[in-house]
Amino acid sequence: MATKLGVDVRSIRLLLEIGVTAAYEGLPAEGESIVRGVQTFRDDVPQPGVCLIGAFFFQKRYEEAIVEAKAVLKRFPNCQMAKALLGLSMFDAGYRDWETPLKEVVDDGRDEWAINLAKTTLGYEYKSKTPGKQPPVASAPPANMFYA
C-alpha cells in the first residue's frame, strides 16, 4: 500500500471518512477538525478539500461549502466532485446559476460519482453534449465517493 511520510493511504481515507461522517452525524467541529488535519497533511490532492465541502454541505453551511469548492477548483481545476458539490451547494443556497457547474460535470464525463450527483441534482433529463459519455445513473453513491 502506498504511503506518504510513513502514513498508509488507507489510514488517510479512513480519517476522511470519519471526518465527513462526524459532520453528517451532528459533530461538526470534530469532523471539520479531522478533515482539516488531513487537508494540512495531504495538500497535494483534492480529496481532503472535497471532504470539507461535503462536511460543510451536510451542516447546511452552503456559503462555506461554495468558498471551499472554489478554492479546491482553483488548485485542482479538473476535480469534478468539487465542481458537482459546488453546483449542489449553489442550488441549496439559492444561487441563480447553480446548473452551470453541474452541466459541466456531466459534459466532462470523467468522474462517474460526480456525474451521478450532478444528474440527480439537475434531474435525470439533462443529456451531455458529448455523445457516449452518459454512464447510467445509479442509486446514491457510497460515502467513499468523496475520496475515490
Between residues 123 and 96, the one the model is more confident about: 96
The residue ranking higher by pLDDT, 45 or 130, is 45
Q: What is the 3-state secondary structure (H, E, C) of the chain?
A: CCEECCEEHHHHHHHHHHHHHHHHCCCHHHHHHHHHHHHHHCCCCCHHHHHHHHHHHHCCCHHHHHHHHHHHHHHCCCCHHHHHHHHHHHHHHCCCCCHHHHHHHHHHCCCHHHHHHHHHHHCCCCCCCCCCCCCCCCCCCCHHHHCC
Per-residue pLDDT tens over the stretch 63-120: 999 999 999 999 999 999 999 999 999 999 999 999 999 999 999 999 999 999 999 9
Mean pLDDT of the chain: 85
